[in-house]
């Protein structure tokens, strides 16, 4: 999909937040948005997976939570996010994928954006919905390339050759937390701690709801259209 020429300048884009249950397609879509708008894709899950590989004490604690499907503590998460947002490449906009994931994280972020060094007058929050019946298939079928990060799915987005990345021929890997027992915990954490954010952002007038259940390219087209429309509109009264 090469529509980069008609994409709006990143200077016009407020921060974009992707909300949705694990398996809704946030990571796949975030990568496409990042490419189109030439802005960084910040995935807290990716950051923590990298930390979990380190031998540090914090890395071990992070992995202990991740492998059980638990969320990492808000303090640690917000610290990681503030360090990332502080970098120069976030000046022209960015996509947050998997953050915020709890009400305290959302409140912290809005406060940070209203008063911190990365002031933003508004945010675009995309809520990608998908039925629970699809989720196990999506999560169990998910594979990713350890070299380029591209995400595949054995059921919905298979690579041309089974188990091998189309772009660089690396053998694809499965996330350790895409395992039935851990998936159950992750979905339960989502329902209890993340789902309330939908009402939080709806109440601020900044939520765009979009079905993530359709073909990946179709969802991408809808996302581009929704974001570009939202970027042109004046911020809703009282919205961040």
Residue 231 vs residues 91, 146, 188, 209, 228: alpha-carbon distances, Å: 16, 33, 33, 15, 5
Q: Which helix (H) or strand (E) holds 83?
A: helix 74-85
DSSP 8-state code for residue 171: B
Closest distance to Zn ion from the beta carbon of 50 (Å): 17
The angle subtended at Cα 22 by Cα 10 and Cα 177, nearest 5°, is: 120
94 contacts ligand AMP (rule: CB under 6 A):
no
Residues in CB range of 171: below 8 A, 6 or more apart: 146, 163, 164, 165
81 contacts Zn ion (rule: CB under 5 A):
no
Residue 69 vs residues 45, 61, 96, 134, 181: alpha-carbon distances, Å: 12, 13, 20, 19, 9
**Candidates 53-61, 63-71, 111-119, 128-136; binding stretch for ligand AMP (CB under 6 A):** 63-71
Residue 104: both structure tokens together? 């305290």
CB atoms within 10 A of CB 232: 9
DSSP 8-state code for residue 87: S
Q: Which does 178 bind (CB under 5 to 8 A by kind): ligand AMP, Zn ion, none?
A: none
- Residue 186 bears catalytic tag: yes
Closest distance to Zn ion from the beta carbon of 164 (Å): 9
Name which position in 72, 183, 223, 239 contacts ligand AMP (CB under 6 A).
72
**Candidates 85-93, 97-105, 108-116, 224-232; binding stretch for ligand AMP (CB under 6 A):** 97-105
Q: Which residue out of 36, 101, 150, 222 is catalytically annotated?
A: 101
SS3 224: helix
- Residue 26 bears catalytic tag: yes
Name which position in 17, 25, 48, 183 contacts ligand AMP (CB under 6 A).
48
Closest distance to ligand AMP from the beta carbon of 96 (Å): 9
Contacting Zn ion within 168-197 (CB under 5 A): 168
Q: Which does 148 bind (CB under 5 to 8 A by kind): Zn ion, ligand AMP, none?
A: Zn ion
Q: Are the CB atoms for 41 and 34 separated by under 8 Å?
A: yes
Contacting ligand AMP within 209-238 (CB under 6 A): none
CA dist., res. 217 & res. 204, Å (int)? 29
**Candidates 89-97, 119-127, 161-169, 208-216; binding stretch for Zn ion (CB under 5 A):** 161-169
**Candidates 7-15, 65-73, 149-157, 225-233; binding stretch for ligand AMP (CB under 6 A):** 65-73
For binding to ligand AMP (CB under 6 A), which residues are involved? 22, 44-45, 48, 65-66, 69-72, 77, 98-99, 101, 105, 177, 186
For binding to Zn ion (CB under 5 A), which residues are involved? 145, 147-148, 150, 165, 167-168
């Amino acid at each position: 999909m090469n529509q980069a020429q008609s994409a709006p300048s990143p200077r016009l884009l407020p921060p974009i937040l992707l909300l949705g249950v694990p398996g809704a397609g946030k990571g796949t879509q975030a990568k496409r948005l990042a490419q189109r708008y030439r802005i960084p894709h910040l995935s807290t899950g990716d950051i923590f997976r990298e930390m979990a590989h380190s031998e540090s004490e914090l890395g071990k604690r992070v992995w202990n939570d991740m492998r059980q499907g638990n969320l990492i503590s808000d303090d640690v998460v917000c610290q990681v996010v503030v360090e990332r947002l502080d970098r120069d490449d976030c000046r022209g906009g960015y996509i947050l994928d998997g953050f915020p994931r709890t009400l305290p994280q959302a409140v912290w972020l809005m406060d940070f954006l209203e008063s911190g060094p990365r002031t933003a007058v508004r945010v675009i929050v995309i809520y990608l919905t998908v039925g629970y019946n699809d989720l196990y298939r999506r999560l169990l079928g998910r594979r990713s390339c350890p070299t380029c990060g591209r995400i595949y799915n054995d059921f919905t987005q298979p690579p041309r050759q089974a188990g091998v990345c189309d772009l660089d021929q690396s053998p694809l890997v499965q996330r350790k937390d895409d395992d039935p027992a851990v998936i159950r915990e992750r979905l339960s954490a989502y329902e209890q701690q993340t789902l309330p954010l939908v009402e939080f952002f709806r109440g601020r007038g900044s939520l765009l709801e979009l079905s993530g259940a359709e073909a990946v390219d179709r969802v991408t087209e809808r996302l581009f259209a929704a974001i570009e429309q939202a970027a042109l509109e004046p911020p809703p009264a009282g919205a961040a």
